[in-house]
Amino acid sequence: MAAVTEVNQAPAAPAAGIFGANATKLLLLSALTIFVLGYFARSVLPEGLYTWPQAYRIPLQAAANDWLDQLLRRTEIFDQPLRLYTRSLGELLGVPMRFIQSALANGWSYVGADGARASIPPLPWIVVTAVFVAAAWFAAGSRLAAFTLVTFVYYAAFGLWNEAMLTLASVSVTIVLGVVLGLLAGIALWRWPRLEKVLNPIFDIMQTIPPFSYLVPVLVLFGFGPVAALVATMIFALPPMAKATAYALRRVPASVIELSEMTGASFWQQQWKILISTARTDILLGLNQLVMMSLAMVILASMIGAGGLGGEVLKALQSLRFGRGLEAGIAITLMAIQLYSFGHAVATRRPSHEDGQERRKRYAVVLAVISLSVALALLSPAFRQFPETWTVSSSDVWSKAIVWLNGHWGSYFEAFRTFMTFWILRPLLDAMQGVGWFATALGLAVLCLAFKRPQVALLSVLIIVAISAIGYWEAAVTTLHLVFAGTLLSLMVGVPLGMWASSSRRVYKITDGIVTTLQTLPSFVYLIPIVMLLGPGDVSGLLAIAIYSMATTIRYVSHALKEVDKGVLEAAEMFGASYWQTFFKVRLPLAWPGLLLALNQTLMMAVGMVVITSLIGTRGLELETIEAIAKVQAGRSLVAGLAICALAILIDRILNAAAESCSPEKSRKARITA
């Protein structure tokens, strides 16, 4: 009887699979129909479904301004204003930073016993270079020492020594503080998993909200200067370190955790001596992101008093001096590579087994190099302060190159700008605005239901309605059309290059160097040549977004395709599959998760870059944040930033849902079930 029941019930499974597949197709078709009807039915539908009625708008910006003003300026703790406590904390954080800046760049000034003002100069450039080169050699060997020497000589030779030392001091303090706080937060997330529900959303907001949005609150609480820049940088750069630490500790084998408990060590001894040491490979990924994101903030930090190399890039952008901006940008890139390489070498260094004589030789070499540099500084003023006559500059070369390009190719650049404006960007913007907020919210909800994600469907409706209700729908669409167009252009160029790099070791080495440079070069540097060639506006913003995000596309695509198991590819070739059959039938499906991750990260990079493009004339939510900063409206700036943050999170959630629903493995299982 049981056998009969099993036979009679067996066909039910395929029927359910077919119904599920048909339901998904119906929902996808319904979503597309909603978007199309929304666009073409505007003349017959109420205008309120396209533009939120003015009478029903929520004045959230004004309320946020009042609330933040009350919080930041009028809040008192024990009859003392909140700013007194935050600025006292800022003074404490500023002590090590000011000391390092004085030692490396500013020197010290004091009033002598006779009342006269005197000063102590900073350390000579030759001594600072020798100390860093010796430390690099001691930690990682001659290659890093040579790179460090080239880096510091570059600072001096291009007249960027003081600016580089100011940035080095502030970034060093930021990295040390970020490592300590990131490790503590990561340990807390690993120790108490329930904290994830509280901290992870906060970290997501910290990573996706534009830094412009919280510059005004930081200025009010910490004042104008390097300390405010330090706090703003920490908000942006801390989450990756905390997340990487929690992820690394979760991957520690249970046997190692049991061993740490059996040794009788205290909790903190277990963490520092055993667990973190075991998980340091994954933690270094967080250190890498901390260093890169700290240096990515140096230009924005210069807007609130940090100065340094970021200030040089900002001044170059304001005066359209591409050469000077590129020189300072390369200096930031060299600093990022040098700091991360040094930190990586220190963190991964194994205990030395060399005898005492070898160790004494190493110490003697370090001492000799530093002593020689001190002697040179005492003998010659040129080794104390780098002479201006020894400096070089490439500004004239780049300026002449830009002039030559405009003179010989200016008509082509104008034709390209006209084509992109009237045939790509304007039609895309008109199409997206023509759908309206109501059809967009409804269509996205149905689309998410097709992906079997009702929570994401509800989230999409809430975000679209909220953005529309506060009057930001048109600005949000303007921002998104640049993001989507920039992402598409990045994919069109980056995906083929990534595929080529994955199949050729020589091409991979070339693209890897270019990608590393593009990822560490400050985003502001991209703006200068583009504006000089195409002028301000949406087309320049589009190209800046595409170039900035293209590095991520190339790296993720090449990595995803290279990581496919070679044994599987060889098996396909043994069965007689051609190159393209192997690529489309085997390699591409196996690399699918990595390729979707490439799309996700490209979009996130585009969202991050679109805020910067407001400085060259793009309009949208990004411009709203800049205008709010200019008018010192902290609430308005924060609301606009949170709107961009919400859009970024929504894009991420929809892409993740699509990735899981459309993966080849899931499709294969569905076909087998059907």
**pLDDT-based confidence at residue 6 (cuts at 50, 70, 90):** very low
Q: Is there a domain that residue 269 lies in?
A: yes
**pLDDT in the model for residue 350:** 64
State the amino acid at position 551 in one-letter form: A
β-pairing, 117-120 with 76-77? unpaired
Q: Assess whether 344 and 281 both reside in one domain.
A: yes
| 447, amino acid identity | L
Bigger pLDDT: 466 vs 575? 466
Give mean pLDDT, residues 142-149: 92
Note the pLDDT of residue 17. Answer: 40
In a domain, 69, yes or no: no
* Residue 252 in domain: yes
Do the domain assignments include residue 151?
no
DSSP structural state of residue 275: I
pLDDT at residue 499 is higher than 70:
yes
Q: What percent of the chain has pLDDT over 70?
A: 93
Amino acid in position 417: R
pLDDT at 233 over 70: yes
pLDDT in tens, 517-530: 777 777 777 788 88
The whole-number average pLDDT for the span 116-134 is 89
pLDDT grade for 478, boundaries at 50, 70 and 90: very high
**Half-sphere exposure (Cβ direction) of 85: Cα atoms closer than 13 Å:** 11
Tell me: pLDDT of 398 over 60: yes
264 and 314, same domain (yes or no) = yes
Task: Grade residue 413 by pLDDT with cuts at 50, 70 and 90.
Answer: very high
- Domain CATH code at residue 639: 1.10.3720.10
Cα-Cα-Cα-Cα dihedral sign, residues 55, 66, 617, 423:
negative
CA distance 456 to 650: 8
Q: CB under 8 Å to 275, separation ≥6 — which residues?
A: 249, 252, 256, 257, 260
- SS3 state at 484: helix
Q: For residue 10, tell me if it sits in a domain.
A: no
Q: Are 644 and 210 spatial neighbours (Cβ–Cβ below 8 Å)? A: yes
DSSP one-letter code for 272: I
Instruction: Give the largest CA-CA distance in the chain.
Output: 110
| Least-confidence region, from 50-59, 216-225, 263-272, 511-520 | 263-272
Co-location of 518 and 621 in the same domain: yes
Write the CB contacts of 485 (distance below 8 Å, at least 6 apart in sequence): 424, 425, 428, 542, 545
**621-651 pLDDT per residue, tens:** 988 888 887 787 888 888 998 999 899 889 9
Task: Answer yes or no: is pLDDT of 271 > 80.
Answer: no
Residue type, 25: K
**Element holding 310 (H helix, E strand):** helix 308-319
How much is the average pLDDT of 269-285?
74
Assigned domain for 168 exists: yes
Q: Which neighbouring-strand residues pair with 108?
A: 120
Instruction: Identify whether residues 211 and 330 lie together within a single domain.
Output: yes
| 576-618 pLDDT tens trace | 888 788 888 888 888 887 788 788 888 888 888 888 888 888 8
Mean pLDDT, residues 505-521: 80
CB atoms inside a 10 Å sphere around CB 379: 10
Per-residue pLDDT of 171-217, as tens digits, reads 889 888 988 998 888 888 888 888 888 888 888 788 778 887 888 88
Structure tokens at 6: 């099993």
pLDDT at residue 2, as a whole number = 40
Query: 3-class SS at 651?
Result: helix
- Quick count: other Cβ atoms within 10 Å of Cβ 559? 17
Q: Which tokens sit at 480?
A: 């998104």
Terminal Cα-to-Cα distance of the chain (whole angstroms): 26
- Whether 367 and 345 map to the same domain: the answer is no
CA distance linking residue 562 with residue 514, whole number of Å: 18
pLDDT digits (tens, 9 = 90+) for 60-100: 988 998 888 888 877 888 888 888 888 888 888 888 888 99
pLDDT score, position 113:
67
Task: Show Cβ contacts of residue 412 under 8 Å, excluding neighbours closer than 6 positions.
Answer: none
pLDDT at 143 over 50: yes
Average pLDDT, stretch 43-62?
Answer: 91
Q: Phi and psi for 109 in degrees, rounded to 5?
A: -120, 145
- SS3 sequence, 357-417? HHHHHHHHHHHHHHHHHHHHHHHCHHHCCCCHHHCCCCHHHHHHHHHHHHHHHHHHHHHHH
In a shared domain, residues 651 and 522: yes
Asked if residue 561 and residue 415 are part of one domain, the reply reads yes
* Number of domains comprising the chain: 3
Per-residue pLDDT for 256 more than 90? no
Average pLDDT over the chain reads 84
- Inter-residue contact 664 to 596 (CB < 8 Å): no
DSSP of 513-528: HHHHHHHHS-HHHHHH
- Do 220 and 273 fall within a single domain? yes
Burial class (CB in 10 A: 0-12, 13-18, 19+), 200: middle
> Taking a C-beta distance cutoff of 8 angstroms, is the pair 329, 525 a contact?
yes
Q: In which band, very low, low, confident or very high, does the pLDDT at 652 lie, cut at 50, 70 and 90?
A: confident
**150-168, pLDDT tens digit by residue?**
999 999 999 999 999 999 9
Are 313 and 415 part of one and the same domain? no
- For residues 205 and 256, membership in a common domain is answered with yes
Q: Under a CB-based contact definition with an 8 Å cutoff, are residues 467 and 58 in contact?
A: no
Q: Among 547, 157, 514, which residue's Cα sits nearest to residue 333?
A: 514
Per the model's pLDDT, the better-predicted residue between 658 and 545 turns out to be 545
Note whether 311 and 377 are same-domain residues.
no
Separation of alpha carbons 39 and 7, rounded Å = 51
Quick one: pLDDT at residue 12?
A: 42
216 domain-assigned: yes
Question: Over the stretch 522-567, which tens digit does the pLDDT of each residue have?
Answer: 777 778 888 888 888 899 999 999 998 898 899 888 888 887 878 8
Give how far the C-alpha of residue 142 lies from the chain's centroid of Cα atoms, to the nearest Å.
Answer: 31
- Residues 278 and 425 occupy one common structural domain: no
pLDDT at residue 348 greater than cutoff 90: no
Residue that finishes a domain, picked among 298, 318, 350 = 350
Q: Is the pLDDT of residue 353 over 70?
A: no
Per-residue pLDDT, 444? 95
Domain of residue 298, residue span: 82-87+89-104+158-350
Distance CA 616, CA 623 (A): 10
Q: Is residue 487 part of a domain?
A: yes
**pTM: predicted TM-score of the whole model, two decimal places:** 0.80
Question: CB neighbours (10 Å) of residue 409?
Answer: 13
- Residue 190 burial (C-beta neighbours within 10 Å; 0-12, 13-18, 19+): buried
